Amino acid sequence: MNDQLLAVVSQYGPPALFGIVTIAAIGVPLPITLLLIVAGSMISQGAMNLWWAIGLAGAGSILGDQAGYAIGRWGGPAVIARLGALLGHRASLEAMEAKAKAWGGPGVFITRWLLTPLGPWINLASGTAGYPWRRFLCWDILGETTGAVLYISLGRIFSDRVIALGAVLGDLTWALAALLAAILLGYQLLAHLRQPPPHPESRIEAKPDPSTTPRG
């Protein structure tokens, strides 16, 4: 799969990059980070234009992100269930919806270029959670532009070590995602432990008034 995608990008350039990143942003698992690094390497060799690559890669990612958000916001239960099945289980969607509400705009931004495996989930969950579309769009544009510039620039700088760099960044991304999940789990556990135990309701039995007690 990776070799075929790399061959397509090498042959058709930025337009192919646009199509692939759009599909990946919706939820299809594709090696986008590696493709952006390869695009940077091709730019260093004069085989691709820098600004076209950054522009179309960013535009494709943003378009795919907006599609995921729109499905979550207006797609209806059936369409949401289908995309949710593509991404994983329903429970995961509910968990990501809670994270989308908690993280807000910074969560959208960081999942565009750093915690990229969570990106499609956050898109869908932001829609189902009713996160304001204009804010989502602004953070999305900022994050996807950052990601395109960052990884294409890394490919230009380390053009002779593209595959190794892509593997390192992929491992780093998953490690950071696992670390973040562990931090969130630890925070939730700590918050649960800090909650005071429920106090049993005191039951005060009313004693009979001697003055009203009938005398035989």
**Per-residue pLDDT, 204:** 47
Are 147 and 116 contacting, i.e. CB atoms less than 8 angstroms apart? Answer: yes
State how far the Cα of 150 lies from the Cα of 142, in Å rounded to an integer: 12
Mean pLDDT to the nearest integer, 7-34? 93
pLDDT of residue 175: 63
Burial class of residue 136, CB neighbours in 10 A (0-12, 13-18, 19+): buried
For residue 101, the surrounding DSSP H or E stretch is helix 90-113
Residue-wise pLDDT for 98-136, tens only, equals 878 888 899 999 999 988 888 998 999 999 989 999 999
Q: Do 25 and 123 touch, CB atoms closer than 8 A?
A: yes
Contact 116, 84 (CB under 8 A): no
Three-state helix/strand/coil letters over 61-83: HHHHHHHHHHHHHHCHHHHHHHH
Model pLDDT for residues 175-193, shown as the tens digit of each residue = 666 666 566 556 656 666 7
Dihedral sign computed on CA atoms, order 190, 131, 28, 76 = positive
Q: Sorting pLDDT into bands at 50, 70 and 90, what band is 208?
A: low
pLDDT in tens, 49-99: 999 999 999 999 999 999 999 999 998 777 877 777 776 655 567 777 887
d(CA 164, CA 82): 35
Q: How many helices (H) and strands (E) does the chain have?
A: 9, 0
Direct distance between the N- and C-terminal alpha carbons of the chain, in angstroms, rounded to an integer? 98
Q: What is the pLDDT of residue 197?
A: 66
Return the pLDDT at 203.
Answer: 46
pLDDT at 99: 79
Which amino acid type is present at position 82? Answer: R
Cα–Cα dist 82/79, whole Å: 5
